[in-house]
Amino acid sequence: MSSNARQDQSAKKSLDDYLAVLATERRLSTHTLKAYRRDIEKLIAFMDQRGVMLWQGLNSHNVRLFAASLNSKGLNSNSIKRILSSGRGLAKHLVSKGALKNNPFDDVRAPKGEKRLPKTLSVDQIVSLVELTLDDPLSYRDKAILELFYSSGLRLSELCGIDLNDLDLSESILRVTGKGSKQRDLPIGAQANKAIRDWLLQRNVLPIKDFDALFISKLGTRISTRNVQARVQYWAKRQGVEISVSPHMLRHSFASHVLESSGELRAVQELLGHSNISTTQIYTHLDFQHLAQVYDDAHPRAKTKKPK
C-alpha cells in the first residue's frame, strides 16, 4: 500500500471515529453528522492537495491557509466559521487521542461578516396567513400547522416529529424534542389549540397509517418536512402574503413578536430551545410557569379564553 493510500485510510478512520463519538455522546442527527463529514472532508482534501501529512502537518499556518482558500472560493463568513468549527472539534478529538499535541484551530478565527436580522412577518401578515377557508381535511391540517408554528416557535423538524401523546390540550402544553434529543415543554396559544382540536376531528377522515403522528399526509403517513414547506409557501401565496414565507420565518416572527411585547429575552431563548448554543449559556433556566405567564401576557394570538 502506498504512503498516500495509507494516509487516506488513516484520515478516513480518524474521521469515522470522531463522527461515531458525536453520534454516541452528543446524539447528533444523521443530517448534522453528514454536514460535519462534508466540512472535514474539505479540510482533508486541502491538506492532501498541499502534500501535508495527516495529521502531523496540521498546524495553525495550514489552518489559516485553509480558511483563506475557503474565502477565495466565495464562501461567506458563516460557512467558513462552521467549517473551522467542525475542524476544531476533530482536532480536539485528535489531541485527546494523542494524534496531535495541540489544537491548531484555537488561534484561527473566521472573517467577520455582517449580522443580518432574520426576516419576520408583521402581526397583520400572520393573521392574513392563518385565516384559511376550511373546506377539506387538509385545509384544517394546514391551519393547525400554521397556527402551531406561530404559537410555539417550533423548528420544522420539531413540528413534523410531534406525536399525539406529546399534546395536552386540556392544559395547552406541548412537549417537543429538539436538537440533541433535548425535550422542552411549550405553551400552546388558544387559537392553535382550537385549530388542533378541529384538525383531530378531520384527521379520522384520512386513511391513517401512522397512528402516532399528529400531522399526517393525505396518504395517512407522517407528514414530511418538504411537504410542510410546500404547504406553507402555497398558503402564503394564496392568502396574499407578498413575500416568500418559510416555516423558519414563522419561528422568527414568533420570537420577534413575543420579545417586542415582553422584553423577556431569557424566556424567549427558553421557548426557542436554544440551551445548547454557546451564546445562550449565560441565561438561567426558567420554570415552565414563568414561561407560560410571559407567553400568555405577550403573544398576540394567546389572548383568548381556552376552549372548554
SS3 32: helix
Round to whole Å and give the CA distance between 49 and 66. 11
Round to whole Å and give the CA distance between 286 and 291. 7
Q: Are 130 and 240 in contact (CB under 8 A)?
A: no
Q: Are 119 and 243 in contact (CB under 8 A)?
A: yes
Q: Are strands 183-187 and 173-177 parallel, antiparallel or unpaired?
A: antiparallel
Active site residues: 155, 179, 248, 251, 274, 283
Round to whole Å and give the CA distance between 85 and 36. 9
> E-assigned strands of the chain?
167-168, 173-177, 183-187
Q: Give the residue carrying C-alpha cell 391551519.
A: 143
Read out DSSP for 34-57?
A: HHHHHHHHHHHHHHHHTTPPTTTT
How far is C-alpha 274 from the geometric centre of its chain's CA atoms? 10
Q: Are 66 and 46 in contact (CB under 8 A)?
A: yes
Round to whole Å and give the CA distance between 140 and 159. 16
Query: How is residue 7 written as a grid cell?
Result: 494516509
Residue 183 β-bridge partners = 177
